[in-house]
Chains A and B, each alone.
Chain A
Amino acid sequence: MDTETILTTARLLIEDLSEKVESPEVDRLDFYLTDPKNVIVAAAGLRVKHLGYLSAITGIDPGIDQEVLEVLFHFCTGYATITLRVNVPKDSPEINTLTEIIPGAEPFERELSEMFGVKVIGLRNPAHLYLPDDWPDGVYPLLKDFQPEMLNEPS
Chain B
Amino acid sequence: MQKTKIDNKFTVPIGPQHPALKEPAFFSLNVDGEIVTNAYVRLGYAHRGVERAAEERNWVQTQYLLERICGICSHIHSTAYCLGVEKLAGIEAPPRAQAIRILVAELERIHSHFLWLGVASHEAGFDTLFMYSWRDRETVMDILESLTGNRVNYSANLLGGVKYDVDSEQEDIIRNGLEYLEERLNYYLGIVTSDALFLKRTRGIGGMTRNQAEVLGAVGPTARASNVQRDIRVEAPYSAYKKYPVSIVLETNGDLEARFIVRVKEMIESCHLINQILDNLPEGELVVRMKRRIQPGETVVRVEAPRGELFYFIKSNGTDKPERIKVRTPTICNMSSVVKLAIGSQLADIPVILAGIDPCFSCNDRSVQINYQKRKKTLWTWEELRNYGIRYYNGNS
Contacts and interface: CB of A to CB of B under 8 A. Distances in A.
B42 A129 contact: yes
A129 B215 contact: no
B52 interface: yes
Given A24-B298, A103-B336, A78 B309 contact: no
A119 interface: no
Identify the 6 closest CB pairs spanning chains A and B, nearest first: A104-B217, A130-B44, A56-B328, A58-B326, A79-B236, A130-B47
A144 to B, nearest CB: 8
A70 to B, nearest CB: 9
Interface string A16-54: 000000001100100000000000000000000000011
A125 interface: yes
A28 B43 contact: no
A60 B311 contact: no
Given A56-B313, A104-B215, A141-B49, A78 B235 contact: yes
Chain A at the B interface: SS class = mixed
A108 B328 contact: yes
A103 B319 CA distance: 38
A128 B26 CA distance: 13
A58 B313 contact: yes
Given A24-B297, A54-B217, A130-B365, A77 B235 contact: yes
B333 interface: yes
Nearest to A111: B332
Interface in B51-91: 51-52, 87
A106 to B, nearest CB: 7
A104 B299 contact: no
Contact of B236 (A72, A78, A127): A78
A107 interface: yes
A142 B235 contact: no
A108 B332 CA distance: 8
A113 interface: no
B217 A74 contact: no
Given A77-B235, A107-B336, A141 B52 contact: yes
Given A55-B302, A76-B302, A146-B52, A104 B326 contact: no
Contacts, number: 82
B311 A55 contact: yes
A131 interface: yes
B336 A104 contact: yes
Q: Kindly state the interface size class of chain B when it binds its partner.
A: 35 or more
10 contacts: A55-B302, A56-B313, A56-B328, A76-B300, A78-B235, A104-B215, A104-B333, A128-B44, A129-B42, A130-B44
B313 A72 contact: yes
Interface in B177-222: 214-218
A132 interface: yes
B324 interface: yes
Interface string B230-242: 0000011000000
Given A74-B300, A128-B44, A142-B51, A104 B328 contact: no
Nearest to A50: B214
A81 B328 CA distance: 15
A102 interface: yes
B335 interface: yes
B79 to A, nearest CB: 18
A107 B51 contact: no
A130 B366 CA distance: 10
A92 B332 CA distance: 28
A125 B360 CA distance: 23
B236 A103 contact: no
B311 A74 contact: yes
A131 B44 contact: yes
Q: Which of B217, B311, B336 gathers the greatest number of chain A CB atoms within 10 Å?
A: B217
Contacts of A128: 42, 44
A25 to B, nearest CB: 7
Given A55-B328, A72-B313, A129 B43 contact: yes
B10 interface: no
B236 A106 contact: no
A102 B236 contact: no
A81 B51 contact: no
